[in-house]
Amino acid sequence: MSSGKGGELIPSSSELDLDRPNIEDYLPSGSSIHEPLGKLRLCDLLDISPTLTEAAGAIVDDSFTRCFKSNPPEPWNWNVYLFPLWCCGVVIRYLILFPVRVIVLTVGWIIFLSCFIPVHLLLKGHDKLQKNMERALVELICSFFVASWTGVINYHGPRPSMRPKQVFVANHTSMIDFIILEQMSSFAVIMQKHPGWVGLLQSTILESVGCIWFNRTEAKDRETVTKKLREHSQGVDNNPLLIFPEGTCVNNQYSVMFKKGAFELGCTICPIAIKYNKIFVDAFWNSRKQSFTMHLLQLMTSWAVVCDVWYLEPQNLRPDETPIEFAERVRDIISVRAGLKKVPWDGYLKYSRPSPKHREQKQQSFAESVLRRLEEN
């Protein structure tokens, strides 16, 4: 879940180091700067062309930026016959569909609030009943949201039974991912704390289903959150955790690296793959380009939000696997199912610079080859 501000870069904190497995396996093969061949000569030292080529390649095109590029569908309204049809479409969408949807949503909110507030205030003593009713009501309001975009959601796969020590992970395209999943069954999501009306909803209603907040910009926050995650997953009566391990919204064509936090809780991981059909609307929330409110309005003035949700087979940590390898394995499963291309970057690089570790590795391998070749005579 990404926050609204874009473009500010803060220095990378050391915690980012922990999340990156062998990135060198993914980087282009020019990673090794020189091939060690025979005696070192002046031309070997002066020839910086491989490094320059890598830099120029990154300037011209890079896999990280591609993950966050909104790719709107090709405009089809460009000729004399189709254009009037498209105009009719605009009229229908903005003047008919949109008001109807706003009404539906308003009705939904009225019903929800008139049930939720009494339940929340009056049923204070009866915990179990209160929890169940609040869960049902949150599912209800999510269904209303989905209806307000004319959501057509195909759920595939056997929905895993709700058991303790189970954590759900999914790829992340927009905050609506959560709403789509929540309407089927109650989850406790871990989300970035947002400002504005979203933040208000977070602290009141979503609190009741057990959601956990974090603040991406606070370095210490990570330990607190890991602790909360662990406590929640061990608890018996809590809603199952839903985590988006990418940590940020990606454009539904790529997947960035999964953070290992969810994978070291000692729980079974149930992967969920979500794929939106772009023909109707591009559901990618480009938080650098628009606020969540604008994003919702865009969805409400489109024809429909069509997506596929696959519940995939639950996975467990294998005995010889590290949590990072486990995270990558699950990312692979989700990416294959949703047709996403994997890139070796940490989603948080949207907000900060890469750690110096990678540059140092390149420097180290070059330095070693120079010294080695110097000794060959």
Partner 1 sequence: MGNTSSMLTQYDIEEVQQHCNNAFSQQEIVSLYERFCQLDRNGGGFVSGEEFLSVPEFAVNPLSQRLLRMLDGLNFKEFVAFLSAFSPRATVQQKIEFIFKVYDSDGNGKVTFNDMLDVLHDLTGQFISEQQREQVLTKVLEEAGYNKESLLVMSDFVKILGSSGLKMEVEVPVD
Which parts of this chain interact with partner 1 (CB under 8 A)? 6-7, 9, 27, 33, 40-65, 69-70, 288, 345, 349, 353-354, 358-360, 362-364, 366-368, 370-371, 374
| Residue 257, beta-bridge partner list | 346
17 CB-near residues (< 8 Å, 6+ apart): 355, 357
Closer CB to partner 1, 83 or 197, in the complex? 83
How does strand 166-170 pair with strand 241-243?
Answer: parallel
Measured from the Cβ of residue 20, the count of other Cβ atoms closer than 10 Å reads: 18
CB of 72 vs partner 1, minimal distance in Å: 9
Give residue 241's identity as a one-letter amino acid code.
Answer: L
CB of 368 vs partner 1, minimal distance in Å: 7
How far apart, in whole angstroms, are the C-alpha atoms of residue 271 and residue 165?
A: 14
How far apart, in whole angstroms, are the C-alpha atoms of residue 317 and residue 267?
A: 8
User: Distance from first CA to last CA of the chain, Å, rounded?
Assistant: 57
CB of 5 vs partner 1, minimal distance in Å: 13
CB neighbour class for 297 (10 Å; exposed up to 12, middle 13-18, buried from 19): middle
CB of 56 vs partner 1, minimal distance in Å: 4
Backbone phi, then psi, for 289, in 5-degree steps? -100, -30
CB of 376 vs partner 1, minimal distance in Å: 13
Closer CB to partner 1, 52 or 113, in the complex? 52
Closer CB to partner 1, 12 or 186, in the complex? 12
How does strand 305-311 pair with strand 268-276?
Answer: antiparallel
| Residue 268, beta-bridge partner list | 166
Closer CB to partner 1, 59 or 121, in the complex? 59
Closer CB to partner 1, 85 or 374, in the complex? 374
What strand order describes the sheet that includes 241-243?
151-156, 305-311, 268-276, 166-170, 241-243, 188-192, 212-214
Closer CB to partner 1, 48 or 103, in the complex? 48
CB of 28 vs partner 1, minimal distance in Å: 9
Distances (CA, A) of 147 to 90, 276, 277: 19, 16, 17
Beta strands (DSSP E) in 43-164 are 151-156
Closer CB to partner 1, 120 or 362, in the complex? 362
CB of 14 vs partner 1, minimal distance in Å: 16
Closer CB to partner 1, 316 or 364, in the complex? 364
* DSSP category for residue 94: I
CB of 311 vs partner 1, minimal distance in Å: 33
Name the helix (H) or strand (E) containing 311: strand 305-311
CB of 81 vs partner 1, minimal distance in Å: 22
